[in-house]
Copies of this chain bind each other. A is one copy, B any other.
């Protein structure tokens, strides 16, 4: 049986693959042993013979044989030659189910049970497609040079201090101190660095908060329309995730009270500053009532202040955490201020809560990226971040207004939306659901990516709409994106005039 086997081997070997030839021989032989083509005790050709058959250097075959002997697949018997080991578990060949699945070179199938997790609702840029995200900043506005400089000096400081090994799971002391200063000076949130835990984006802050607050027998309230990834993180704890009513003044606290009477509510997740996705701001009265309910029903308020700085009209309200530290876990992020791709977020909470979250984080990813934490601390203390934010706010304000005009031009009165006072996205609802359906069906073929309108609702009756991020698209991109989706399912006449408009 050596002859056919040697041919099959020759077919498997491909010098053009990135894999060293000797390893290809090793894998091919292991493969043939495991599928029973080569049986325990079978004699292998001499290294010279095989080298000739494969047209490779003899040294290569020697290397492969030595490796297989070391791994226990082959055994050498002095001058008698090399054989398939007799020590192999008899059942081994039998363990090969489908050839393909068992072929180490085609590792596509798993021969063990695992929990398949559904694809999350994410939208991120694809090849020659336009993405209308849910309100991300434009990373192109942040100068690579500034970033590179911050990392350079971080690397130098770290080299001196050996700071690139492991450290405090709460995150770099430098970064926690500078974030504490930032929160005190610009958000009225007075905390010390022991009240802060650095996280990998606000998502991780939400995930950790859920894990220390919730058990399967508990309930967590979220805004009826909200951030699906937050609901996913809470659902992972086994707790019941319930959407509370939402209106033009934000979360409906009456409904919160009603739910608290019927469920074991341990946490209320809220985006009071710029509600996600509807952009409304939770009124002062409701904030105080919510605090009142938190005191009466002893639940924690998870306050997600994901884009505090980008507020365009009027003075932003202080975060609830600034006057109720003891009832809130404040979740913040540098993703909007700086760059999402750096994954720097933080939670501000009572010391003991922070410690518990940090301990949990240690079992998830040990700690954050020490170099990035130093670099971001640098950007905050040097004032680079403030300068960037001031500049970016102007750009976003312009883009917001232009975007609103585009929406009116393309959709006329087919959609309802308010110009957001803050945040980086519009919330648009459709008078005629069939138009929305058409857009969601047609977007892909017009090479536009959008978050599904249903992905925001905690349950379908909370309604649907489109969250349209305006900040990450420059004028030309916004024009393109909106005209592309605007054209879809539009009444014939106005569609025509539109295309004329564009041609002219």
A residues adjacent to B (C-beta < 8 A): 18-20, 23, 26-27, 30-31, 34, 66-67, 70-73, 87-89, 91-92, 94-95, 101-102, 104-105, 107-120, 122, 124-125, 133, 136-140, 142-145, 147-148, 151-152, 155-156, 158-159, 162-169, 181, 184-185, 188, 190-191, 195, 199-201, 203-204, 207, 211-213, 215, 229, 232-233, 236, 266-267, 283-285, 287-289, 291-292, 294-296, 298-300, 315, 317-318, 322-327, 339-343, 348-353, 355-357, 359-360, 362-372, 472
Task: Please give, as numbers and ranges, the residues of chain B lying within 8 Å of A151 by CB-CB distance.
Answer: 147-148, 151-152, 155, 371
Copies held by the complex: 2
Let me know if B188 and A350 touch, CB within 8 A.
Answer: no
**Across the two chains, which residue of chain B brings its CB closest to A229?**
B363
Question: Given A125-B165, A136-B166: A204 and B364 within 8 A (CB)?
Answer: yes
Let me know if A351 and B108 touch, CB within 8 A.
Answer: yes
| Least Cβ–Cβ distance between A257 and chain B, in angstroms | 11
| Least Cβ–Cβ distance between A266 and chain B, in angstroms | 7
Q: In the complex, A155 Cα to B294 Cα: how many Å? A: 44
Q: Closest 4 CB pairs between A and B?
A: A72-B284, A107-B325, A341-B370, A95-B295
Most buried by B among A115, A145, A472: A115
Task: Please give, as numbers and ranges, the residues of chain B lying within 8 Å of A114 by CB-CB distance.
Answer: 212-213, 300, 352-353, 356
| Least Cβ–Cβ distance between A278 and chain B, in angstroms | 21
**Across the two chains, which residue of chain B brings its CB closest to A157?**
B144
Task: Please give, as numbers and ranges, the residues of chain B lying within 8 Å of A472 by CB-CB distance.
Answer: 165
Task: Please give, as numbers and ranges, the residues of chain B lying within 8 Å of A342 by CB-CB distance.
Answer: 164, 369-371
Q: Which of B26, B166, B323 contacts A27 (CB 8 A)?
A: B323
| Least Cβ–Cβ distance between A227 and chain B, in angstroms | 11
